Structure 1
């Protein structure tokens, strides 16, 4: 069933979602508080409304199942049934079936729901001991006692069964055998209607329907409800903006008036000068008169300019106020309470706990906090992964918890707190916590770190290893977790929202995952700094403090340059070194010398990690609009996006998380010349050029060398792979795609297989220009894809400068 009318379809989509969400939340409450009649009354209202909406729009299957849910709830209200776990399971399965049918009605995608089988389960109502004849007898009694109200339901079911019967008869005819699938009898109250009494094979009834919470990781909020007062406020502001626009337009009239005054003055001045030349005897008096006229007109011009400046300032201030109010109002329209997303998890926790044989209580706090609609959409998958992992990995079995003097019923908290423009979302459990020894063993086994390196790492750094791609301490794969992908997905999704994640675990007491996000994603406050004569933006939420560092305050600790910050050692690095930029002579000469030994330092903090970053200059703090990377440049290390400053300059927005990770993998020898002489040495970035065509190879090599790169040549993919492994690290790889022995896609895939090359920029330059070709390049792991058909050397150089 598909609703053809677009407006009605949209209305049913929104209304059915509201009713179904209320029913699911109500069923969860009813299971916990079966004697609360208020919950039952609310559930009956919701089922009645959903049944009426479905009937009005012709969604008969949803109407049929909802009516049966309503009957079951009525029987509980009248004391005829008890709320038991099997009874609740039956309610949830019916609810899932209705959700799928409603989804079919608004999208046209088949629901694949057997209404007859679900209806039989609802009639059974969780009583697994009830014989089949009793279930079907209840079906017949229902038809006899309330035939008028159920006529459409029965006819619809009959049509479905007749189709099944026809199919069965055809099969019987082909086999020359008789089929006893259906036994029919007449309904005594209505001879024209035939009540089917099916013999239902056990395999025909599904054990359970897929819970609505696990229908897929995609979660999208299609509509946002807006209070009328907010729209009224926006309309008022829009009217004021129109008035301000007209005021600014009048400023052009003022400018025209000044210009006309100036032109008349120049014209009169020319005439007066000619008159003075003709009247030489009276020249002195004429000059004095001309001087007086000039002074008067200068005064008039000054008055006009002052008035224009005053009006322009007023209009500018009014425009800025209105612009800020409108921006704030529009952003608030996109904000929704976190409860819109949090409400997805109680049912999931209930089903997974039952599947695992555990008892778990989910406590939700801070659901009234408002956040951008996109945050709710993007955070659903990370929170799902963490809660599933907590149930599977963290929460112990009841018997194990009792042995550890813990209550048999575990608790998972889903909390939200707001701090200004930031929100913290926490997933907390009281389970066994993270095992540092298991994490260390896994890291050594996978070759991530050596035992010696792990011994130098802090507790927080070791815990953060669980966010590495494919990192899992689980030795077996279960239906819930153990595939080693969840926590990597968590970190990627959070960083896509420009947020941060940290984990804190106490053995045998539990684990806490904390996300820190901006409530709005459209704008952000950023610190603008300069490095190597280029401006960069650092998100303010990651800036702990800005300060000046004296040369004598720098010392070496375990081979790394360090300063003392708040009584603790703090690693430091030059921003230009972290970005691996070639330093210009001008920038090098501007480095602090002995006569001026201090330099600007920005202390970054992400979670528990800190890093001091030296910059050439602190420029300003601005509110910026973050522009994400293009799809061609899918992932650029240390860069999270770009913005346009008030000067019109394009400015890269830095990723504090990447900067801190860069230092952990950087040898202190790279910084040694900088901190001993306080000068940068000018080095040329190394580029590996892989191209089988000699003319193209020569041309690209000249372009790269002319731009200041040191180029190493390879004639095909195998040659390029050998040179990469023999000659050490390069700063980038530029490769053709179509080559003998090993093509560019194969070369890219082989490079990405090596962990040490996971951040090596790879640029593919090829004649293959179809979208599928570009997609294959991105899937192989290339950072950029440039076609030779519209090749522009500046595009290649600009791309390399962004990536290196």
Structure 2
């Protein structure tokens, strides 16, 4: 392997490592932004500091000086934060999240296009270094609420394909142990096969003896007495009786042993299959980790304050299903932020906290199934508006709509074109989203249900 090939493999490994470290860094930033204090604040700061430091070293080892430079500047900011030399403002967190985004975009870009980003990187590093010296953080102004503006699709919803997957050592150890047990069982089965072959040879010997006795049998035909022939036949019949009994006992023993080993082998194969399935399973947190930052970015651009609360990240699910669920969950969350929650001003008029809440809960239910529950504390779905929209699209007549109960009326939002949003933005309002979500969920063998306050 030449140096170029080695560097390519090292950068592939770095890309995988960087995704995990950047996800951890983003998670720590989001926790810090919520205003946690005491030990939790110190812990999150330490995690963020260590992740930036480790990523800097890893970037240096694969000759990615651009990322190394960004990480060094970010690390310096975290060091100043640990010394309480910098105030944790919203603008500062915007800048730090932008730094994470810059690294992700740089890694996702083709190598030929990376030099074009050098100017952006230099500007970002200059800002980060300026923050450490007390310079004011300069970030785009946050919108003050009101009508939401266009949303630029920034969050990479699907990571680049990888030929490798990380598996925990505990899962691999379990697989190796079960494989060794199967090898032992295979040797035992080989010995059993040898015993069966021995019995088969014995039966062949019996066939030869029987063929010899055929001559004596023919000699006795038509003769009443022939002492030697009758004696030989007598002895053969005695031998044959003992032989068949011995053969039967051996076959019963082998059958019993084979039955036991078959049950044991069946259980081991089932266990190995279950462990292999577990290797292909990932915790829901691998999907959930992208959402807090996505919700933060959309809410900031919409002039809203949103707190996303995630529970059940430890629940494991097949990796292929997890990847297919990414888009439906993403769409629902974006809808929640865009027109499920009110602006801070509207919430205050209604006597609600200025910060809206979205809850995403994952739980294991009966039958090995998983339930994903997404809710928000917005005003809910306006069923009267849904009916008006459905009537305007010619889906149902006014009389048919009046006859619907609440659940049937609610299901109308799953029809293509039906939306409760009065405006269309880049992320919602066209009435296609939930119809597509339902299609994808049902394709996975799932069920989509709706409820409103």
Is the shorter-chain TM-score for this pair beyond 0.5, marking a shared fold? Answer: yes
Give 1:42's aligned residue.
47
Q: Which whole-Å CA distance do the structure 2 matches of 1:85 and 1:53 have between them? A: 29
Contact kept in structure 2, 1:417 and 1:423, CA below 8 Å: yes
Q: Which whole-Å CA distance do the structure 2 matches of 1:327 and 1:99 have between them? A: 36
Q: TM-score under structure 1 normalisation?
A: 0.49
User: Which of 1 and 2 has higher RCO (CA within 8 Å, sep 6+)?
Assistant: 2
Q: Kindly tell me: are residues 300 and 41 of structure 1, through their superposed partners in 2, closer, same or farther at Cα, counting changes over 3 Å?
A: closer
Q: Which whole-Å CA distance do the structure 2 matches of 1:125 and 1:83 have between them? A: 14
5+ residue gaps, structure 1, are 139-201, 507-804
Q: Which whole-Å CA distance do the structure 2 matches of 1:117 and 1:269 have between them? A: 95
Whether 1:98 aligns to 2:100 is no
Q: Which whole-Å CA distance do the structure 2 matches of 1:302 and 1:498 have between them? A: 52
Q: TM-score under structure 2 normalisation?
A: 0.83
Contact kept in structure 2, 1:3 and 1:9, CA below 8 Å: no
Q: 2:259 aligns with which of 313, 321, 332?
A: 313
Q: 1:441 aligns with which of 388, 392, 399?
A: 388
Contact kept in structure 2, 1:258 and 1:301, CA below 8 Å: yes
Per-residue CA deviation, residues 15-66 of structure 1 (Å, 9 max, x unaligned), is: 2222222221222222222763443333222222222222232212112222
Q: Kindly tell me: are residues 70 and 44 of structure 1, through their superposed partners in 2, closer, same or farther at Cα, counting changes over 3 Å?
A: same
- Tell me how far 1:211 sits from its aligned partner: 11
Give 1:409's aligned residue.
355
Per-residue CA deviation, residues 236-289 of structure 1 (Å, 9 max, x unaligned), is: 211221222233334433443333333332332232232133243147766655
Q: Kindly tell me: are residues 91 and 229 of structure 1, through their superposed partners in 2, closer, same or farther at Cα, counting changes over 3 Å?
A: closer
Q: Which whole-Å CA distance do the structure 1 matches of 2:126 and 2:274 have between them? A: 52
Give 2:158's aligned residue.
218
Give 1:336's aligned residue.
282
Per-residue CA deviation, residues 213-254 of structure 1 (Å, 9 max, x unaligned), is: 834442467454333333222112112212222333344334
Q: Which whole-Å CA distance do the structure 2 matches of 1:416 and 1:58 have between them? A: 40
Contact kept in structure 2, 1:34 and 1:83, CA below 8 Å: no
Q: 1:116 aligns with which of 103, 116, 119?
A: 119
- Tell me how far 1:13 sits from its aligned partner: 1.1
Give 1:273's aligned residue.
214
SS at match of 2:451: strand
Give 1:55's aligned residue.
60
SS at match of 2:449: strand
Per-residue CA deviation, residues 496-538 of structure 1 (Å, 9 max, x unaligned), is: 32222211222xxxxxxxxxxxxxxxxxxxxxxxxxxxxxxxx
Q: 1:388 aligns with which of 334, 349, 362?
A: 334
Give 2:449's aligned residue.
502
Q: Which whole-Å CA distance do the structure 1 matches of 2:34 and 2:44 have between them? A: 11
Superposed CA RMSD in Å reads 3.4
Q: Kindly tell me: are residues 292 and 78 of structure 1, through their superposed partners in 2, closer, same or farther at Cα, counting changes over 3 Å?
A: closer
Q: Kindly tell me: are residues 308 and 249 of structure 1, through their superposed partners in 2, closer, same or farther at Cα, counting changes over 3 Å?
A: same
Q: 2:373 aligns with which of 414, 426, 431?
A: 426
Q: Which whole-Å CA distance do the structure 2 matches of 1:258 and 1:46 have between them? A: 67
Contact kept in structure 2, 1:51 and 1:66, CA below 8 Å: yes
SS at match of 1:322: helix
SS at match of 1:264: helix
- Tell me how far 1:397 sits from its aligned partner: 2.0
| Superposition pairs of residues 282-321 of structure 1, within 5 angstroms | 282=226, 289-321=235-267
- Tell me how far 1:390 sits from its aligned partner: 0.8
Contact kept in structure 1, 2:52 and 2:75, CA below 8 Å: yes
Give 2:184's aligned residue.
243
Contact kept in structure 1, 2:69 and 2:125, CA below 8 Å: no
Q: Kindly tell me: are residues 84 and 434 of structure 1, through their superposed partners in 2, closer, same or farther at Cα, counting changes over 3 Å?
A: same
Give 1:25's aligned residue.
27
Per-residue CA deviation, residues 720-759 of structure 1 (Å, 9 max, x unaligned), is: xxxxxxxxxxxxxxxxxxxxxxxxxxxxxxxxxxxxxxxx
- Tell me how far 1:206 sits from its aligned partner: 8.8
Contact kept in structure 2, 1:221 and 1:377, CA below 8 Å: no
Q: Kindly tell me: are residues 114 and 272 of structure 1, through their superposed partners in 2, closer, same or farther at Cα, counting changes over 3 Å?
A: closer
Per-residue CA deviation, residues 137-181 of structure 1 (Å, 9 max, x unaligned), is: x9xxxxxxxxxxxxxxxxxxxxxxxxxxxxxxxxxxxxxxxxxxx
Give 1:6's aligned residue.
8
Q: Which whole-Å CA distance do the structure 2 matches of 1:97 and 1:66 have between them? A: 11
- Tell me how far 1:412 sits from its aligned partner: 0.5
| Superposition pairs of residues 600-679 of structure 1, within 5 angstroms | none
5+ residue gaps, structure 2, are 143-149
Contact kept in structure 1, 2:175 and 2:272, CA below 8 Å: yes
Per-residue CA deviation, residues 56-89 of structure 1 (Å, 9 max, x unaligned), is: 3221211222222223333333444322112221
SS at match of 2:380: coil
Name the count of aligned residue pairs: 431
Per-residue CA deviation, residues 601-633 of structure 1 (Å, 9 max, x unaligned), is: xxxxxxxxxxxxxxxxxxxxxxxxxxxxxxxxx
- Tell me how far 1:207 sits from its aligned partner: 8.7
Give 1:88's aligned residue.
93
| Superposition pairs of residues 582-593 of structure 1, within 5 angstroms | none
| Superposition pairs of residues 448-463 of structure 1, within 5 angstroms | 448-454=395-401, 457-463=404-410
**Greater strand fraction, Structure 1 or Structure 2:** 1
- Tell me how far 1:380 sits from its aligned partner: 1.6
Contact kept in structure 2, 1:100 and 1:113, CA below 8 Å: no
Per-residue CA deviation, residues 538-575 of structure 1 (Å, 9 max, x unaligned), is: xxxxxxxxxxxxxxxxxxxxxxxxxxxxxxxxxxxxxx
**Greater helix fraction, Structure 1 or Structure 2:** 2
Contact kept in structure 2, 1:90 and 1:122, CA below 8 Å: no
